[in-house]
Amino acid sequence: MREGRQYVVMGIFIAVGVVFLIRLFFLQVVDTSYRSAAENNAILKVTQYPTRGQIYDRKGKLIVINAPVYDIMMIPKKVKIEDTLAFCRVMGLTRSGFDSLFRVARASKAYSRVKPYPFLKQVSNVDFARIQGALVDYPGFYATARTIRSYPKKVMANTLGYIGEISKKKLEAPGQTYYKQGDYVGISGIESSYEEELRGKRGVRYVLVDVKGVEKGSFKSGQMDTSAVSGEALTSSIDIDLQQYAETLMMNKVGSVVAIEPSTGEILTMVSSPTYDPNMLTGREFPINFGPLQKDPLIPLYNRPIQAVYRPGSIFKLVQSLVGLQQGSLTTTAHLPDVGPMGCHHHSGAHNGLHNAIQFSCNVYFYQAFRQYIYHKETGNTFKDSERGLMRWRDAISKFGFGRTLGIDLPNEKRGFVPDTSFFNRVYGKGSWKFSNWYSMAIGEGELGVVPLQMANLAAIIANRGYYYTPHLIKGVGKEGKIDSKYTTRNYVGVESDKFQVVVDAMADVVRAGTARLAIIDSITVCGKTGTSENKKGKDHSVFICFAPKDNPKIAVAVYVENAGFGGVIAAPIASLIMEKYIKGEVNKKRKPLEKSLIEKSFMPELPKPTSIVVSKKDTTIVKKEMKVVKKDTVVKQAEEPVLVREIKSNR
Amino acid sequence: MYDDRDSVSRTIDWLTVLLFAICVIAGWLNIFAAVYDPEAKQNIFSMSLNSGRQLLWIGCAVFIILVILLLDYKFYEFFAYIIYGVVLIALIGVLALARDVNGAKSWFEIGSIRIQPSEFAKFATALALAKYMGRVGVRFDQLRTQITCAILLGVPALLILIQNDTGSTMVFSAFILVLYREGLTPWVLILGAFAIFVFVLALIVPQLYLVLGIAAVGLIVIGLTPKKTFKNIALVLAGCLLIAGVAIGVDKIVNDVMLPHQRARIMVLFDPMVDLHGVGWQVIQSKIAIGSGGLAGKGFLEGTQTKLNYVPEQSTDFIFCTIGEEHGWIGSLIIISLFIGLFCRIIYLAERQKDRFARIYGYSVASIIFIHFFVNIGMAIGLLPVIGIPLPFFSYGGSSLWSFTILLFIFLKLDAHRNQMTARY
């Protein structure tokens, strides 16, 4: 009889299942009130976007602001357009543009007849002023305000960077939980490196909506809502007026300028030429301009001060002097033998020690100095000594920041190149190379590679007599103005400060009576060193680093002008004018002709005939080839009529 | 003699394994649907989502299954009391050591791993009960047997009740079905059902009407009684008094003894508006979500009501909402049939055991899983009060998945060796 009880138990199981299914049948199929309850009761998660932090220059001038733009939204179901042509006129559309907008909208995944859809995105203030008045005549359309980045000064594009929609790769990066598809993030420059500070914190509002998307109140009386927190404002160390001046001087030239305040490591100016107007990569401009900028053979999107690797040229003799003095393989007075594989083209035989050698940039002197550095305390085996000497030297100059990244607050900083033993082992084979294979590094040629920022930092190190602060562009984040402690820590370079005297004195004479007389500034002692960096492709690059005043320096500058020849002629006067402008506030009238001639000088390389890039495009507003290349012309040509959309392509 | 390992794959009941696997995989997909945010690009395997972690728990469960199947089948009976003892110690330990989580002290925390001993008390108690009742000569009609069973079941149930885990305590009522099969009088089942009926009546009908109603029913019964002897009338009157007493008592317990949150959970059953921002909200949302699914549902990941994380138990206790909303009545039908099929299959397997230990354990497995199914879905569709209890194999969480897996696969292991066991009665 108890065996029969198994059927009772199974019966209970089945009965419960049947009761549940009957209940569910009434709940799900018979009773439709739950369905309408669901429709009337959807909870909409409305994201509250924070405003991105603005950026100020060192004097408190705004250099990156948020400009209001407007999205024209439509609810397709309510749209009623009686006179299409009049509507197009108001909205600034061509007839075909109007049609294609609707075509794209209907094809979009987000399109629904009852839900708001962004009909026109990011309409500028000016256009919106025209549209706003007429908007009431067109039911189904309304505007929502949002902001985009705007750059009132139109300079420093590469350093500031740009923002754009988040990439798929970044969105799916492991551990990434903050961003959602369609979010805007900083992609390069300061916008990227300070993304977390600038972006603020998104807020969320839960609202109850009915099926038509009409708000019916907040969910749980707002208990779960979080409000958006604006991004932090950044204070940059850049002097925006100086930046603008430097960019003007670098017009029609390829190269970079970096100016640092030695006592803090704050970057005052950072020019990458050719550049572009940063406003070209905001909002609606972005899709029009980004492609051509990217394809431009002069690569304006490339931030040369931290990415372009050059040979340092004669400027490197300063480093050779300092590490030699510190090691003791060089003294200030020793006269070195005037023999070597390099000649000395600046002066005739008068080798009066280190001071003189720097002042006249004597190649053979530095060949000998480097040789002594490498073979210091030799053992007799030149191969072994070369290996050890190389690594010792590499360590010493690494403290100056060569061959490694300095740690500037920008992404994609290049480290340059300082060869090590394994490099030469690869090139020549282990044990079969020595000093004579790479002596040309003595004068900053050969295998060496540096970026302009490292050279400006070298000028700052000499100005400080032995230490530097990691160069940085942001001197304060938020109200409290905090920055990372690595930017407020002194980095010593391992050379005692008294060793710097002879180098500084010699640099003063380089300007006073040496290779860089064009750098002289009235009543200020300028210390500098010219360089002429050899390059395989064309004319030498003109290089100059300097700081001023000699005592208690205010500014250290490095200037690179590609294919402009000797450093004293182009780079030195550019650096000098920048320093004068910074220290005195303006450039002396006497130097105006020099300034004018420098601005007018052009060292643009001969380009291969521009191919398909720009010419073939009839539709864009970009007409002139030079407009992206040369600073002055980077004003996007305005269409005669305010046309917002002519024809757009679907992204999908 | 044949190779032990080989025999398991040949003699294990693959139908049950298949039902189990379907449940676990369907559960995993629904967990993803419950946490899915249409705005974000999400991967079902992402470890930042419940679905990704559940997959890890499933992987662990597979490992546990292998261990269970590789152990000797005699192990479970042999160590039944020891396992039971260890779990009791753990239950006492958790009271002393655990931190309060939402008012319940039921979690051991070892680093980031949290273990809930009450989950493991289920199979340990089942093993101990089966071992005791499976002994030769134990007969359920003896008082001694009844008392021993009550102690075996009562001690862990009490310890879990002290942890403030009402849901897990209730699970122990599942053993009534097991005892019923082994000889408990059917009156317990009937009285139990009747008590629930009175309990519900007491809550929804005002006390005065209820008493008058009982009196009226009593009078009608007396009127209809063919032999109006004193004994019969006294019996009916005594019954009526008892029922009225229970009804008044229930009212008193609910209003005066129960804590506010317990009371709320019961009261919302009848009127969700009582506690609109708390439990009532969950009940309303749950019913709307399931109700809006219609016949065929809105489709996988297309649900609108279960997409936001505002109900904390979205992927655990209220996982059935997602099923109901996205797969409609047909989906519910499939899932419920799946469970009923699993229960009946286990009962069928239990009945074919020659060994009482294995049979009693099998009944325990079916009953324990059943009571979870009963309470969880009953709660989601508004038939039972809101009690935090997982839906077996579906709800998110390592402890519960593992505990059900262990429960089921120990039985499957025993079943696989049924021919090697000797009948002992």
Which residues 184-243 on chain B approach chain A with CB closer than 8 angstroms? 186
Which residue in A182, A192, A204 sits closest to A52, CA to CA?
A192
| Inter-chain CB proximity B181 and A9 less than 8 Å | yes
| Inter-chain CB proximity B370 and A13 less than 8 Å | yes
Write down the pLDDT at residue B404: 93
Residue B246 has pLDDT above 80, yes or no: no
Which residues 397-416 on chain B approach chain A with CB closer than 8 angstroms? none
Label residue A626 by pLDDT band (50, 70, 90).
Answer: very low
Residue A639 has pLDDT above 60, yes or no: no
For residue A406, the domain's CATH number is 3.40.710.10
| Residue range A283-305, pLDDT digits in tens | 878 888 888 888 888 888 889 99
User: Which chain B positions have a beta carbon within 8 Å of A20's beta carbon?
Assistant: 332, 336, 377-378, 381, 383
Q: How far A91 CA sits from the closest chain B CA (Å)?
A: 30
The better pLDDT of the pair A551, A42 is held by A551
Q: What is the percentage of chain A residues whose pLDDT exceeds 70?
A: 86
| Residue range A407-455, pLDDT digits in tens | 999 998 999 999 999 899 988 888 888 888 888 898 888 889 999 999 9
Q: How far is residue A432's CA from residue A162's CA, in Å, rounded to a whole number?
A: 49
| Inter-chain CB proximity A27 and B43 less than 8 Å | no
A317 within some domain: yes
| Residue range A27-39, pLDDT digits in tens | 888 887 777 776 6
Test the A interface: residue of B19, B329, B356 with most A CBs within 10 Å: B329
| Inter-chain CB proximity B291 and A34 less than 8 Å | yes
| Residue range B302-340, pLDDT digits in tens | 777 766 554 556 778 888 988 998 899 999 999 999 999
Query: What is the mean pLDDT of the segment spanning B171-179?
Result: 89
Query: What is the mean pLDDT of the segment spanning B10-32?
Result: 92
Write down the pLDDT at residue A264: 93
Label residue B347 by pLDDT band (50, 70, 90).
Answer: very high
The residue in chain A having the minimum alpha-carbon distance to the alpha carbon of residue B294 is A28
Query: What is the mean pLDDT of the segment spanning A448-467?
Result: 94
User: Which chain B positions have a beta carbon within 8 Å of A168's beta carbon?
Assistant: 41
Query: What is the mean pLDDT of the segment spanning A483-512?
Result: 91
Residue A468 near residue A265 (C-beta atoms within 8 A): yes
Residue B425 has pLDDT above 70, yes or no: no
Structure tokens belonging to residue A479: 């109200």
How many structural domains compose chain A? Answer: 2
Test the A interface: residue of B37, B285, B292 with most A CBs within 10 Å: B292
| Inter-chain CB proximity B344 and A13 less than 8 Å | yes
Do A54 and A195 belong together in one domain?
A: yes
A332 within some domain: yes
| Range scoring the smallest mean pLDDT among A215-224, A550-559, B164-173, B207-216 | A215-224
Q: What is the CB-side half-sphere exposure of residue A522 using CA atoms within 13 A? A: 8
A634 within some domain: no
The residue in chain B having the minimum alpha-carbon distance to the alpha carbon of residue A40 is B288
Write down the pLDDT at residue A349: 52
A577 within some domain: no
Closest in B329, B344, B347 to A24, CB measured: B329
| Inter-chain CB proximity B374 and A31 less than 8 Å | no
| Inter-chain CB proximity A28 and B363 less than 8 Å | no
Q: Is B337 on the interface with A (CB under 8 A)?
A: yes
Residue A393 has pLDDT above 90, yes or no: yes
Q: Among A170, A200, A230, which residue terminates a domain? A: A200
Choose from A247-251, B179-183, B267-271 the range with maximum mean pLDDT.
Answer: A247-251
Q: Is B181 on the interface with A (CB under 8 A)?
A: yes
Residue A367 near residue A340 (C-beta atoms within 8 A): yes
Residue B21 has pLDDT above 80, yes or no: yes
The residue in chain A having the minimum alpha-carbon distance to the alpha carbon of residue B371 is A13
Radius of gyration, CA atoms only, chain A = 33
| Inter-chain CB proximity A6 and B351 less than 8 Å | yes
Q: Among A450, A476, A511, which residue terminates a domain? A: A450
Q: Over the range A63-87, which residues count as b (16 or more CB within 10 Å of their CB) and which as e?
A: bbebbebbbbbbbbeeeebeeeeeb
Q: Among A200, A224, A259, which residue terminates a domain? A: A200
Choose from A64-73, A103-112, A189-198 the range with maximum mean pLDDT.
Answer: A189-198
Residue A575 has pLDDT above 80, yes or no: yes
B197 burial type by CB count under 10 A (0-12 exposed, 13-18 middle, 19+ buried): exposed
Test the B interface: residue of A8, A18, A34, A178 with most B CBs within 10 Å: A34
Residue A645 has pLDDT above 50, yes or no: no
| Range scoring the smallest mean pLDDT among A264-268, B198-202, B209-213 | B198-202
DSSP percent split of chain A into helix, strand, coil, nearest 5: 40, 20, 40
Q: Is A35 on the interface with B (CB under 8 A)?
A: yes
Closest in B40, B328, B340 to A28, CB measured: B328
| Residue range A113-161, pLDDT digits in tens | 766 778 888 888 888 888 888 887 887 787 877 788 888 888 899 999 9
Domain interval for residue A349:
311-450
User: Which chain A positions have a beta carbon within 8 Å of B48's beta carbon?
Assistant: 175, 177
Test the B interface: residue of A6, A10, A13 with most B CBs within 10 Å: A13
Q: Is B379 on the interface with A (CB under 8 A)?
A: no
User: What is the bridge-based pairing of β-strands A55-56 and A234-236?
Assistant: parallel
Which SS3 state, helix, strand or coil, does residue B145 take? helix
Q: What is the CB-side half-sphere exposure of residue A138 using CA atoms within 13 A? A: 26
Q: Is A10 on the interface with B (CB under 8 A)?
A: yes
Write down the pLDDT at residue B310: 47
A637 within some domain: no
Label residue A402 by pLDDT band (50, 70, 90).
Answer: very high
User: Which chain A positions have a beta carbon within 8 Å of B281's beta carbon?
Assistant: 220
Q: Is A211 on the interface with B (CB under 8 A)?
A: no
For residue A194, the domain's CATH number is 3.90.1310.10
For A611, residues 6+ apart whose C-beta sits below 8 A from its C-beta are: none
| Inter-chain CB proximity B324 and A29 less than 8 Å | no
Report the sign of the C-alpha dihedral through residues B52, B56, B58, B59, in that order: positive
| Inter-chain CB proximity A172 and B41 less than 8 Å | yes
Helices (H), A328-362: 353-359
A471 within some domain: no
A325 within some domain: yes
A384 within some domain: yes
Angle, helices B80-97/B143-162, rounded to nearest 10 degrees: 30
Query: What is the mean pLDDT of the segment spanning B167-182?
Result: 88
If you count residue pairs, one on A and one on B, with CB atoms under 8 Å apart, how many are there? 123
| Inter-chain CB proximity B177 and A9 less than 8 Å | yes
Q: Is A635 on the interface with B (CB under 8 A)?
A: no
Query: What is the mean pLDDT of the segment spanning A563-572?
Result: 84
